[in-house]
Structure 1
Amino acid sequence: MDKQVEPDQLAVELEKIASGDRRRIVALAGPPGAGKSHLADALFSRLNNRLPEKVQVLPMDGFHFDDMVLTARGDLARKGAPHTFDAGGLLSALRRIRADDGEEVAVPVFDRSIEIARAGARIIGPEARLIIVEGNYLLLDDERWHPVTAMFDRTAFIDVPETVLRDRLEARWAHLPPEERMRKMDGNDLPNMRLVLSKSRPADYRVVNG
């Protein structure tokens, strides 16, 4: 479909989905710096006011491999790249959510203040009808991520110009010395950004956000 929408229009579309009896899972994908977390939180606040307890957010970042694992594998410098996430763990959580069997589902949440995923830090209750999953690689055209993509009832991709993304990523690391900032940008953030922009599957909605 790839229907272009503003964030407010997306909220209207999602409210229709959340009002039904069947549980639905929606992907909110986009490159680093696109504003996925901000938009997911804004959608949650708006929809939760209208449909209390019916909406939850599941951030993909909770499925980061721990730094100890990444260090042992020599991947710490690439933290945030597709292979540094537990795609299988995310898939298992989505299967439990989709089962909609009346049980709570505990999911991990990434704590950026300490760079650690906290296990069971968020509970998706049985009353939730709409789960918004946000993350970089939810629509990635890669065999490890295809089963994840197949779990979604609707998909949205945040559309931000590459120049804007680069500015946002530079601002994210503004507190670092110039050499370290450029190392993070050129060695990880920019390759991840370009991968998502070039290798993501088409979405139902393309959200203008930049």
Structure 2
Amino acid sequence: MALDELVNAATALVGERRRAVLGIAGAPGAGKTTLAEAVVAGVAEVRGEDWVAHVPMDGFHLADVQLDRLGARGRKGAPDTFDAEGYAHLLRRVVDDPDAWIYAPGFERTLEQPIAAAMVVPPSARLVVTEGNYLLLPEPHWERARRATTEVWFVSGDEDLRRSRLIDRHVTFGKERQAATRWVAESDELNAALVASSAARADRVVVNSPRGWHFRA
């Protein structure tokens, strides 16, 4: 199975390290979270649940109260609507402080708000998987996050399907379909173009295709 290859590659990142961090980047709707969860589940099956942890970037969304202060709620999801410094600091701590219980924020999609300390990296975790749109951007805040990772994989796939999934996701979490379609066209796709421009900086490209996940040759 193609996923087995990805799970083996993720596990191999640890090697002699005390802990490795695998980053998964890609445009909105590309399947980053689905891939991250599949890799985490696959590694847990082989190595045990305590050996791997999952810390998404989504928990570092700025809360709406901060977006309103900045006049940025209409651009929610853009790079400057995240606490990139906080995210980079967390990933650095994950690497430098492996004997601590490290709590991280999660993200509640129904509320569209970050939730403090919803995730945890236990000392037993040898591999931490994180996913976020902007891990490969050539900007100081995001490059600090990138430097804390062992590798970053970029998720690629069918663009029409990606946009369709995005619209469906927005509808699922409360938007009317017309509003969801407009948000994807006017907001998500601007962010997707920015993310795509950084794809060449990835260590590996993972293709999300009808035959499953696989590395691009």
Structure 1 stretch displaced more, 143-152 or 24-33: 143-152
Change (3 A) 1:130 1:178: closer
Equivalent position of 2:31 in the other structure: 35
> Contact 2:92/2:145 (CA < 8 Å) preserved in 1?
no
TM-aligned CA deviation for residue 159 of structure 1:
1.1
User: Percentage identity across aligned positions?
Assistant: 36
Change (3 A) 1:50 1:7: closer
> Contact 1:109/1:121 (CA < 8 Å) preserved in 2?
yes
Equivalent position of 1:3 in the other structure: none
After TM superposition, which residue ranges in structure 1, 4 or more long, deviate above 6 angstroms?
Answer: none
1:132 aligned partner, one-letter code: V
Equivalent position of 1:64 in the other structure: 61
2:43 aligned with 1:44, yes or no? Answer: no
1:65-144 correspondence runs (5 A): 65-144=62-141
Secondary structure of 1:108's partner? Answer: strand
TM-aligned CA deviation for residue 19 of structure 1:
6.0
TM-aligned CA deviation for residue 197 of structure 1:
0.8
> Contact 2:88/2:141 (CA < 8 Å) preserved in 1?
no
Aligned equivalents of 1:108 and 1:177: distance in 2?
28
1:197 aligned partner, one-letter code: A
2:136 aligned partner, one-letter code: L
What is the root-mean-square deviation in Å for CA atoms of aligned residues? 1.9
Structure 1 stretch displaced more, 100-109 or 129-138: 100-109
2:21 aligned partner, one-letter code: I
Aligned equivalents of 1:33 and 1:118: distance in 2?
21
TM-score, normalisation: structure 2: 0.87
TM-aligned CA deviation for residue 20 of structure 1:
4.3
Secondary structure of 1:145's partner? Answer: helix
Structure 1 stretch displaced more, 144-153 or 172-181: 172-181
Unaligned runs of 5+ in 2: 210-217
Equivalent position of 1:194 in the other structure: 193
> Contact 1:78/1:187 (CA < 8 Å) preserved in 2?
no
Change (3 A) 1:122 1:181: closer
TM-aligned CA deviation for residue 186 of structure 1:
2.1
Change (3 A) 1:19 1:86: same
